Every structure is written in C-alpha cells, then in structure tokens.
Structure 1
Amino acid sequence: MQDAFPESPRDLVARRAASFGANAAAYAAERPDYPLAAVRWVLDRLERRPARVLDLAAGTGKLTGVLLAAGIPAEAITAVEPDAAMLAELRRVHPGVTALEGRAEEIPLPDGSVDAVLIGQAMHWFDLDRAYPEIHRVLTPGGVMGGFWNLDDDAVPWVAEMKRIARSTVTARKWRPKTLPDSPLFPGLERTEFPHAQRRTAESMAATIGTHSHVLVMDPADRDALLGRVVAHLRATPETADGEFDLPLITLAVRAVAAPHT
C-alpha cells in the first residue's frame, strides 16, 4: 500500500544526511581516506605558515587523519561536525584535535580564526548560500577553502557493474554536481583530480557501500539483498574474486583563495 503522504525530496535529503550517526563506527572503519597529495595541493595556496586548519563537517575524522599526516599539528586543527555520534568517534580516534559540534551554516568559531577550511565528502549536503559566507567569515585574509570527494572509478568495467548493482530507488534522485558553484567570496575556483585506491575484500567492499546514505535509509531486507548482490558480483569477478583487491578511486579536489573581507 502506498503511503498517503509520500516523502518529499527535501525530507529524503534530510533523512539521508542524518543517517550516518547510527553507523559511525562502520563509517570510520570502512570509508576511504583522501590522498595526501590532494590535501597538499589545497594547502599549497596558503600564504600563512604554520596554518590553522578547520576540518568542516569532519565526520569521524577521515580528513583529520590526512591533515595530521601532512604535518599539521593536532593543536592547529579544529574539527566541526553536526552529528554527536560521528563527533564522538572522531574524538576517540584523534584525541589531540579540538572537536566541536556545529554545522557549516553556523560555524562555532570567531571571525578570521583559521587559515584554511577543508571539507571531505560533505559539501553536497551544505546549504551553500549560508555556508559560503560562514566559511569566508572564519577565514583569515588570504585563507583557503578546499573540498574533496572520493569517486569510484567507473571507467573500470567491474567497478561500473558494481555501481549498477548497488543502485537503489533513492540513488535515482538527481543530486547536484559534486563540484562547487562559482561565488564572489571564492573567486578563481580550481578543480583537479587525483588517483586514489582503497584495499578491500568482497565483504569489506559491501560494508563500505553499506555506509552510503542511500543504502542506510533502505528497508533492512532490501539493504541486505542489495549488499548480497554486491558480494556475489565481486566473488564472481576475476579481478576481485581472490581475497584482497584495490578499489580504484578518483579524488576530485577543489580550492580557492577567499576574496578580501569588506
């Protein structure tokens, strides 16, 4: 029987955005990090060193870990995340990093308090009309904004087939492009791509897909069936059938220097 009041696209987006917290440990265990080269590419635009960096919508700290690997001291990093469970996981993994509850549209930091704002796998959830001014507000003059998205390399046939199998009715919704629209606050936006990979097995690959929001909001039986089809595909594919394999990824990176404050 069809619901008398079907879910609106806005409500579905909100439900997907809120789906991660209950699965914070799985997200931390299964999601890929980001290429060190991509983070360094964004930070290369900084004029001020050493830098104070905000990891915005930090989740469980995947990007925070790469910032630490890039040589940013823990005391120079602030992580802001709206979901309490995700934030608790970040604090457990990176106890030396200041971690605050907050969101991109209302960042809990003073004006001009950071030199870079970096965002991993999250800007497509933002209300950019509100988030852009907030990001600009907390940046110092000459500060840099950077964003990252890990995308499965579906030019590889077995990856393309896996993505087809892993689609759900929610996946079919048209999402905004995973790039940033132009803004006078961040002129001269640059975009580039970096090769990346994540070591997986059939089971851990299914677990990764199980942390995607369109899968998290599925009916449990439908979700189990979808993930079962993913495992069956990977076990039947020569490139992925024998234990561990590399999932080929492309990391899209964007960067821009903030316009002068007026």
Structure 2
Amino acid sequence: MNDLRSTERFSDRVEDYVRYRPDYPRALVDWLHGLGVDPDWVVADVGAGTGISSKLFLDAGHRVVAVEPNAAMRAAAERWLAGEERFRAVDGSAEATGLDGGSIDLVVVAQAFHWFDMDKVRAEFARILSPRGLVTVFWNSRRLKGTPFLEGYERLLLEYGIDYLGVAERYTDDDTMARWFGQGYRGMASFPHGQKLDYEGLLGRLMSSSYAPKAGHPNHEPMLHALRSLFEATQDEGTVDFDYDTRVFAGRPDA
C-alpha cells in the first residue's frame, strides 16, 4: 500500500475529517446484534481514524479499543472520546495490531479496508479473535447517480481529483468480500444513509478526501469554482443531499 501512502495521506486533513465525514447508521449495529453479537463483546476498531466508527459501537454499549497508525488521527479520536471510560486507542496497524491473541470478540473495519493487505489482515484478525468472535467490514459507498448533484459531484472528482480513480478502484465488491471471509462468511446488508450539507459542509466534505487537491495545487482553485457552481445549481433551500449506501459484511475469516 506504500504507493498511496495509506497511513499518511490524511494527516493534513484531520480537522475536515472530524467535522464533515459522515457517521454510520445505527441499523448496522442492530443487524450485527441479530447475528449474535452482544453489547458485552469487546470491539477492536481497526483503522479507526478519528473515532467515528468507534463512537457507533460505544453508543451501543460496547467496550472499544481503536487501532490507528496515523498519530494525528489517533489524537483526534482520543480528544473526541476522552470522556468515554470504555474507550482506549493504541498505535498499531491492521496487519500488526499489537493486541493480545484471542482478546477481541468483534473486529470492525470502517472505510479503511481497501488500504489493507488482505492476506496479512486475515491472519492477524484470526489471531486476535476470541472463539466466539466475528469480523465486520463496512463503508459508506457514495451514490454516483440519481440526482443532478450526485452526478455533477462525480464529474468534478474525475476532472480535478488527484489519484481519484486509483483510490476509488480499491473498494472491493460483494463477491470479493465473500471470498475473503471464505467458509465463515455470514452475509451482508446495505442501509441507506446520507448528509444534508450547506456549502461550508460540502466544501469541508470534499477537502476531507485525500484525492482533493490542496491550496497551491493548480487544480485547487478551479475545483472550488466548479464546486460553488454545482452547489448553486443543485441546492434546495441552502443544502444538498450527499447520499450513501452503507454496505456491511460479516463473518469469521479463514485463517
């Protein structure tokens, strides 16, 4: 994953990430509980970033250890969740979490799975899972079609984004996920989700993306001009709908 600097590329976008990235629907946790996951299960949030996914499971009653190699993002999670006594964060990677063997009941990976070495993490997750344990992988998949805003936003990224296609193509499909879990695959679900954003929120959401050019890059100012034009053309009472499908996969991967 070194070609895209997966552990470093968000370091200068932490504040936008904290303020403007979407959360995840509670229905996702309810679905997992339907598979037998219980609130007393210990959760490892691997690639936890700024703690958005950790908060989801803390709110559902779980004890959560966040594993995050990026110091700036890990510090943001620790600041945000400092009052949560059931939360702690550690410096570790997906392939080498540093967690004790058999100590985790539920490994969760939100949004970050496409950065991992899929073979190495299978072995690491198998090592840290308890006998009853499961792994769940989920992400918010931005809808590319359906409204003038969504379609215009995709065109904007294609025109101005830096390595946008290289990042987008890393996301795995349903069949790939089923193969990754192997015989222990328990299934998948999809839940509609979204954000209603004013222009400031839309700009922050764009700039939280690692492929959005920063100030000083020749694409930055043209991109902002295009974003303003898109917003003005598609807004309704001062906001646009940024729509997702939250896709979740669960099982116990073959070691």
Structure 1 residue 170, shift from structure 2 partner? 1.4
Which deviates more from structure 2 when the two are superposed, residues 104-113 or residues 195-204? Answer: 195-204
Aligned residue in 2 for 1:83? 70
TM-score w.r.t. length of structure 1: 0.85
Deviations 1:166-223 (A, max 9, x none): 2225123372343426136662252221000112112311221111111157963412
Distance 2:156 2:96 in 1: 38
Distance 2:113 2:193 in 1: 20
Distance 1:119 1:39 in 2: 13
Aligned counterpart in structure 1 of residue 102 of structure 2, from 107, 112, 130: 112
Describe how 1:167-182 pairs up with structure 2 within 5 A: 167=158, 168-173=161-166, 175-179=169-173, 180=177, 182=179
Structure 1 residue 244, shift from structure 2 partner? 2.7
Runs of 4+ in 1 over 4 A off after TM superposition: 216-219
Aligned residue in 1 for 2:244? 249
The code of the aligned residue for 1:178 comes to T
Distance 1:135 1:81 in 2: 15
Aligned residue in 2 for 1:235? 232
Q: Which runs of 5+ in 2 are unaligned?
A: none
The code of the aligned residue for 1:231 comes to R
Is 1:161 aligned to 2:152, yes or no? yes
Q: Which runs of 5+ in 1 are unaligned?
A: 1-9
Structure 1 residue 225, shift from structure 2 partner? 2.2
The code of the aligned residue for 2:164 comes to T
Rate the CA distance shift 1:216–1:185 in 2: closer, same or farther, 3 A. Answer: farther
Distance 2:14 2:55 in 1: 16
Structure 1 residue 250, shift from structure 2 partner? 0.8
TM-score w.r.t. length of structure 2: 0.87
More helix per residue: 1 or 2? 2
Deviations 1:66-106 (A, max 9, x none): 1122222xxx2100101000000000001131100111000
- Alpha-carbon contact 2:102-2:130 (below 8 Å) kept: yes
Aligned residue in 2 for 1:215? 212
How many residues align? The count is: 245
- Alpha-carbon contact 2:7-2:70 (below 8 Å) kept: no
Aligned residue in 2 for 1:60? 50
Distance 2:213 2:112 in 1: 16
Aligned counterpart in structure 2 of residue 137 of structure 1, from 93, 113, 127: 127
Distance 1:46 1:189 in 2: 11
